[in-house]
Amino acid sequence: MNKPRRSPDLSATAERAALQEALEALRESEARFRAVIDSANEGILVYDSALRVTAGNAAAERIIGLPLSDMLGKAGFTSLLPCVREDGTPFVPEDRPTRITVRTGKPLTGQIIGIVRGDRSVTWLDVNTGFLQRPGEREFYGIVSTISDVTARRQAERALRDSEERFRQTFQLAASGICEVVDGRFVRVNRSLCEILGYTEDQLLGRTVKEVSHPQDRDVTDAERTRIHAGEVDSARFEKRYIRADGTVVWCEIAIALVRAPDGKPQYEIAVFDDVTERKQAEAALRTAHEELKRSNAELEQFAYVASHDLQEPLRMVSSYTQLLMRRYGDRLDGDAMEFTAYIVDGATRMKQLIEDLLAYSRVGTKGKEFRPVPVESTLRRAIVNLRAAIEESGAAVTYDALPVVKGDDVQLTQLFQNLIGNALKFRSASVPRIHVASIDRQGECEVVVSDNGIGIEPQYFERIFMVFQRLHNKGEYPGTGIGLAICKKVVERHGGRIWVESKPDEGSAFHFTLPKEGAA
Ligand code: ADP
């Protein structure tokens, strides 16, 4: 304040009144100034030329955590509280913003200082300083510093840095190939993608995805990517081929998603690649092997069918001419000749049976009906009707549980039950046969068990009995050719199931087979 100049025109009273007024105005201006300073969000500390605190506002007290009275006359909060530099190293008196300002002769902006609290947490401050100078004077009479609390901002920045670092590491170290694509062009690729496609990072970054795609698969992602951009779907998966730098083909399973800016504008596509070449090759090899197996099986079946069919004719000739020979010349043949001829007839009869069985076996594959929903119980009942004579003759008790509906060929399923129950009757023990058909419900399939109390089977024959013409007894003991169970196996396998036996000699047998349930894939 300049002293009011003494004016000769003013009386002493008027002079006093003017002084009073000027003082009032000054007080009012100071109060206004104080109010502004105190309502500021930033902390403000005022230092004198000896760099001691002379004034401060409420925000400074709040941010620093000390009452102004503690700071007044001191070299500021850094002399009162343990502080660290921005990099976490200890803060020394030379680092004080006021000292730096005086040393450099320039106002300071953005000095970061941390106050270490009792619980080891750090309050981070951003400090700016300026000189206080009177107009026209070269020397400063004080320093003002403004302080803002940037702890939350620094924490957010650090969290962002951490998360970016984590993302960068995941991106680089991922076993899957990952890339970011803008306008169909690679803008960021990771190491695994470079390895999968056989290019260096620089080579890939200059290229479009289409350029490295297999010509036939170039457009397979277009339609789905359009839908992703339109916001109809979030992501899409594909399997497509790429051409590696060395010209070889690589099959990839890829997942594509779109990253959008907060305003919804597409920023870049992100795609994850997995090399599935080996799996694809194995699948292709399996398909070829399967086709080949189907073809050779069909060929074999056809061959068995034609061969057995064609064998019937010459066989018929052998038996009919032998019978003719017996009828016409029987009385002229001696004992030996008669016996030999009987062997021929017997042999021919057996051969006829074998051929018929073989035909029946090959027909399972070649003449089967299309699968329909079949109630298993109805096929079982038909089998029981067909076996009525044998059941009555043996006095057998055949019982069964509720049975499901399956997808299958009813004629073949009847045949299956007929063979199994027929065997249970044939291979009975001294006791009256008891045969039970049970069903076990399983996921997507049902297991049927035909058990008996017959002679049982030694474990070493569990596999052999299902082979064509394999039997454990000679025909004198039990009649048969050994085709029954082979047919059962073929029927069950044609239905997509398995068949096996559980048995102990003298304790009966249980034949198990599975069938896919109606409605199962
Ligand atoms: P076959 O009945 O014409 O001999 P199969 O193929 O039906 O031919 O059976 C093969 C062999 O399995 C039979 O010779 C018999 O030794 C054994 N077998 C089949 N079913 C039973 C059963 N329920 N109990 C004991 N043995 C059986």
To the nearest 10 degrees (0 to 180), the angle between helices 410-426 and 376-386 is 50
Please tell me the predicted confidence (pLDDT) of residue 30. 85
Give percent above pLDDT 90 in the chain.
69
Q: Which atom of ligand 1 is least distant from the CA of 419?
A: 7
Token pair listed for 461: 């024959």
Percent of the chain with pLDDT over 70: 98
Q: Hey, whose CA ends up nearest to atom 13 of ligand 1?
A: 471
Tell me: pLDDT of 1 over 50.
no
Average pLDDT, the chain: 91
Q: Please tell me if the CB atom of residue 471 comes closer than 6 angstroms to any atom of ligand 1.
A: yes
pLDDT digits (tens, 9 = 90+) for 19-50: 899 899 989 988 888 888 888 899 999 999 99
Nearest CA to ligand 1 atom 1: 482
Which regions of 39-139 does DSSP assign to beta strands (E)? Answer: 43-48, 53-56, 83-85, 111-116, 122-133
pLDDT of 3 over the 90 cut: no
In the chain, the amino acid numbered 90 is: P
Helix intervals (H) in 190-334: 191-197, 201-205, 222-229, 277-329
Tens of pLDDT, residue by residue over 478-512, are 888 889 999 999 999 999 999 999 999 999 999 99
Task: Tell me which DSSP letter residue 377 carries.
Answer: H
Give the CB-side neighbour count of residue 156, counting CA atoms within 13 A.
4
Residue ranges of alpha helices (H) inside 3-85 are 12-39, 58-64, 68-71
Query: Nearest-CA neighbor of 425 among 476, 371, 482, 384?
Result: 384
Q: What is the pLDDT of residue 520?
A: 56
- The pLDDT tens digits of the residues spanning 119-175 come to 999 999 999 999 999 888 888 999 999 999 999 999 999 999 999 999 899 898 999
Residue nearest to atom 19 of ligand 1 (CA): 423
Q: What's the gap in Å between 152 CA and the centre of ligand 1?
A: 84
Query: How many Cβ atoms from other residues are within 10 Å of residue 76's Cβ?
Result: 24
* 319 and 311 Cβ atoms separated by less than 8 Å: no
Q: At what angle do helices 410-426 and 484-494 cross, to 10 degrees?
A: 150
pLDDT in tens, 352-397: 888 888 888 888 877 788 899 999 999 999 999 999 999 999 999 9
Looking at residue 266, its pLDDT comes to 93
User: Is any atom of ligand 1 closer than 6 Å to the C-beta of 455?
Assistant: yes
Higher pLDDT, 356 or 273: 273
**Residue 357, ligand 1, Cβ within 6 A:** no
Is the CB–ligand 1 distance for residue 424 below 6 Å? yes
> Which atom of ligand 1 is nearest the CA belonging to 485?
6
Does residue 428 line the site of ligand 1, with CB under 6 A? no
Nearest CA to ligand 1 atom 25: 456
pLDDT tens string 64-106: 999 999 999 999 899 999 999 999 999 999 999 999 999 999 9
Quote the CA–CA distance of 391 and 410 in Å, as a whole number. 22
pLDDT of residue 326: 87
Atom of ligand 1 nearest to the CA of 471: 14
Read off the DSSP letter of residue 459: G
Q: Summarize the confidence of residues 263-284 as an average pLDDT.
A: 94
Pocket test for ligand 1, best of 418, 420, 461, 465 (most atoms within 8 A of CB): 465
Query: Would you say residue 2 has pLDDT above 60?
Result: no
Reported as a single tens digit per residue, the pLDDT across 282-293 is 999 999 999 998
Ligand 1 pocket test, candidate residues 427, 429, 436, most atoms within 8 A of CB:
427
User: Ligand 1: which atom is nearest the Cα of residue 456?
Assistant: 25
Say if residue 334's pLDDT is above 80.
Answer: yes
Q: Which atom of ligand 1 is nearest to the CA of 478?
A: 4
- Integer CA distances (angstroms), 168 to 164, 189, 272, in order: 6, 11, 15
